[in-house]
Amino acid sequence: MTQTEILWKYQEAESELDRLKKELESTPERQKLRKLRRILQEQTEKIDDYRTGLKEKEGEIENDLVKLEALLKEYDLEQDDLNIMMEDEECTAEELTECRKSMENLLRRINSLQRSLTECQKFIADTESAIKETYSKGSRTKRDYEAAKAVVETERSEHQPIVDKAQKTVDMIGAQLSPELLKRYKAIKKKHPNPVAGVQDNRCQGCGMSLPMTAIKKISSGTAMIECENCGRILCC
Ligand SMILES: [Zn+2]
């Protein structure tokens, strides 16, 4: 057998190995496992987002509470002022109105802050229950994930000897090839999944390009390794 013929066999063995590996990677249970992994990832991200939202809200509440405390203090001072002014006979009606207006303004700000605090509290309660719900969904997903993983492991251990056998065949044929040729084959494989192409009706079966007679003669005699000028595949009769 010529080197090119052995290479052809090598390609066949390798594509069988690839097929077996692919088959193992694409069983329904594998697909299920990948889907569950994606869902788990999404749930984790969701919880992270909720937590970030909670932290921001907590910061907001802290700020609002500081502001509220200052406003309440200011309001108390205004109240004291008003009490004094009301007892002061020299105090004019305008001054009293001014003081009341200022107190009303403070009260509006206090009310608005209190509303904002109530909203923050509602947000926190809602987010906490959403986290809880996501956790409970997550634990169901995790359970399904572990079950699928166990099935996939069984599939793998059942399938592995077949893959190993195919790998052994590839290695055995590969050992009969010159290292340079194998290296060339692997380089071409990066571009074409099937680096060796047959020749039919004087054409490269990889790309369909018509081949010169001199090349055909060389390939048929098995004296030289010829690559297709167009696609670069190694040609085999
Ligand atoms: Zn070609």
CA of 181 to the centre of ligand 1 (A): 18
Same domain, 151 and 232: no
pLDDT, position 225 = 86
pLDDT at 134: 96
Coil vs helix vs strand at 169? helix
Ligand 1 geometric centre to CA of 217 (Å): 16
The total number of structural domains in the chain stands at: 2
Question: Mean pLDDT, 10 residues at a time, over the chain (237 residues)?
Answer: 91 96 94 97 97 96 96 96 92 92 96 96 96 96 97 95 97 96 95 94 95 89 86 91
Please give the pLDDT value at position 237.
78
Domain membership of residue 4 (yes or no) is no
Q: Which domain holds residue 145?
A: 25-177
pTM above 0.95, yes or no: no
Rounded to the nearest angstrom, the distance between the alpha carbon of 170 and the centre of ligand 1 is 24
130 and 189 together in one domain: no
User: Cα(62) to centroid of ligand 1, in Å?
Assistant: 72
8 A C-beta contact, residue 212 and residue 199 = no
| CA of residue 222 to ligand 1 center, whole Å | 18
Asked whether residue 164 falls in the same domain as residue 206, the answer is no
Q: Are residues 31 and 133 in the same domain?
A: yes
Do 48 and 135 fall within a single domain? yes
Expressed in angstroms and rounded, the spacing between residue 66 Cα and the centre of ligand 1 is: 77
197 Cα–ligand 1 center, Å: 7
Domain identity same for 163 and 194 = no
Alpha helices in the chain (DSSP H): 3-25, 28-87, 93-175, 179-189, 213-221
User: 185 C-alpha to center of ligand 1: Å?
Assistant: 14
Q: According to the model, what pLDDT value does residue 219 have?
A: 86
d(CA 18, CA 87): 98
